[in-house]
Amino acid sequence: MQSPAEHAEPNTVVVQPEDRLLRFRQTSGLVLAPLLFLAILALPIPSLTPAAHRLAAVMLAVIVLWVSEALPLPLTALIAAAACVLLQVAPAKEVFLPFADPLIFLFIGSFILARAVFLHRLDRRLAFAILSLPWVGARPARILVAFGAVTAFISAWIANAATTAMMFAIAMSIVNYFFDPRREGGPLVSRSYATGLLLMTTFAASVGGLATPVGAAPNLIGIAFLHNLLGIEFTFLQWCAVGAPAALLLFAFVALYLSALCRAGVSEISGSRELFRREQAMLGPWTWGQRWTLVAWGVTVSLWLLPAVLAVALGEQAPLYEAVERAVPEPVAALVGAVLLFLVPCEGRQRAMTWDEAARIDWGVILLFGGGLSLGVLALRTGLAEAIGQGLAQTLPTHGTLGLVALATLTAALVSEVTSNTASANMVVPVVIVIAQAADVDPLEPALAATLGSGLGFMLPVSTPCNAIVYSSGYIPLRRMMAYGLLLDVVGVVVIIAAVRTLVPLVR
C-alpha cells in the first residue's frame, strides 16, 4: 500500500535541488582537493619538517574530500593512509598501526551485537511494548514522547544511523496507518504530527547516541584521541556520567518542543492503541534468539561496568580491580558478547548470529575511524599538530578553559552540519587538543566538548545519515527540518558546554 508520502508533490520539488547541490559539492571537492594538495606541496613552509609539510598537504586534501563527500568517506581515509606511505611521511607499519587500535575491536563487537538486535527484531518488541502501555494509550503527545524515548534508549547502545533505520520502519508503519487512503473521514492526525514523529526519530537517535561511548562513532573517536594523543583513559562509566545527563536534558527539550509545535489536531487518535497491540501480538512469543541476544548484551554491558563497580566497592588499588581492568578492557567485553551470539543454538540448529550476517556490519565506519586516527597520530609525531596549535592559539580571542570548551563545541557542531559526524570528530578533536596544549589549558574538557559537539548537526538532510533517512519519507518540509534543527543545535551547544564544565571535574 502506498502512503501519501509516495504521491507528495513536495518530495519532487525539494529533493531535486538537494541532489543538485550535493552533485555540485562533490564535483567541487574532486577539483579543489588535488589543487590544494599540489599548492601546499609547492608552497615553502620552513617552520615545518619535510614530513610535516607533506602531511599538511595530505590532510588539507582529505578535509576537502570529507566535507564535500566527493568520494566515499572510508575510501578517502584509505587514500590518505596510502598517500602518507607514498610520500614517506612515515613507514607503512606506523601509518597503518592505528587501524588495529583496540577501539576498532570495540566497534566490531558492538556492531555485531547491534546486528543481532536488528535480526531478531528486539527493537520492534521494545518499541511496541512501550507504545502499548496503558499510560501511552491513544494520546498523540504521549505516543510521540514514548516513541522518542525508545529510540533514544536504543541509540545509546546501537549506532545512530542503525537505530534510525530500525525505528524509521516502525514510524512509517504508524504514519501509514494514520494516513490510510481507504479510511472514511480522511487522516486521523494532521500532517504536522507526522512531521514531528519522523523528526523525533532522527533527533532522538542522535541525542541518545551521546549517552554512552558506544552510542555513536564520534564518541569512540574522541576517546581514542584522548588515549593516543594525551594518554588519558576515559572509562565507560566516566563517559556516561557526562554524556547521559546531557542526553537526558536534550531529549526532554526535544520532547517538549516537538509536542508543542507538531500537534496532532485531535485529543485522541482513534484505533492507535489497538494498532500497537496488534503489532505487538504479531511478533509472537519470545524466541530463543531474542533471549540469547539479550543475554549477550547483558554480559557485555555488565563487563563494561564491572571495573567501575569494583573501583567504587574495593578501591582502585585492590588487586581484583586491577586484574579485571587489565584482563577485560571495553573492546574485549564487546567481543565476548559478540562471540556468545555464535555459540548457542537457538531455533533448531540456527545460532543467534551467523558469520554471513556478522560480515554485513558497517566496515566503512571502522575504516574511517582508523584513517582519521592515523592522521591524528601522524600529525602529533611529525610536529604538524604542534605547529597548527601554536598558530591557532595566537589568533584566538580567548585562552581560558570555558572559552575553548565553547569554541570546540560550536566548531564541531557547525562542521557536523556540512559533513558526517564521524568526519567532524576526526577533523575537529585533534585540532582542539593541540590548540588547548598550545594555550596551556588542560585539553580534556575541550576535547570532550568537541567530541559531543560532533554528535550534533540537525538542520539539513546531509548533516547526518539519520536526517537523510527520515527526510526521504516526504513528510518533512526542508524549512521545518532547518528551523527545528537549528533550535536543537543551539540548545545542544549550551547543554554540552554546561555538562562538560560541570561534570568532567567531578569524574576525573
In this predicted model, what pLDDT tens digit does every residue of 357-392 receive, in sequence order?
A: 899 888 887 888 788 888 888 887 888 877 877 776
Q: Give the CA radius of gyration of the chain.
A: 23
Q: Domain range holding 344?
A: 4-507
Supply the angle between the helices 122-131 and 288-314 in degrees, to the nearest 10. Answer: 80
The beta strands (E) that lie in 329-440 are given as: none
Average pLDDT over residues 322-350: 84
Q: What pLDDT is recorded for position 390?
A: 72
Q: How far apart (Å, rounded) are the C-alpha atoms in residues 255 and 203? A: 10
DSSP letter string over 225-287? HHHHHH-----HHHHHHHHHHHHHHHHHHHHHHHHHHS--SSSS-TTHHHHHHHHHHHT-SPP
Q: How far apart (Å, rounded) are the C-alpha atoms in residues 265 and 206? A: 27
What are the residues facing 345 on neighbouring strands?
351
Average pLDDT over residues 296-303: 89
Q: What is the largest CA-CA distance in the chain?
A: 76
CA distances in angstroms from 116 to 52, 291, 299, 372, listed in the order given: 43, 11, 14, 28
Q: What pLDDT is recorded for position 492?
A: 95
Please count the structural domains in the chain.
1
Q: How far apart (Å, rounded) are the C-alpha atoms in residues 233 and 173? A: 43
Q: What pLDDT is recorded for position 10?
A: 35
Say how many C-beta atoms besides its own lie within 10 A of residue 254's C-beta.
Answer: 27
Q: What pLDDT is recorded for position 53?
A: 93
φ, ψ for residue 439 (rounded to 5)?
-90, 5
- Give the pLDDT confidence of 433-479 residue by residue, as tens digits: 988 888 888 999 999 999 999 989 888 776 777 887 888 788 888 78
- Give the pLDDT confidence of 110-148 residue by residue, as tens digits: 889 888 888 888 877 888 888 888 887 778 888 899 999
Grid coordinates representing 300? 557485555
Residue 118 in contact with residue 159, Cβ under 8 Å?
no
Written as one letter, the residue type at 452 is L
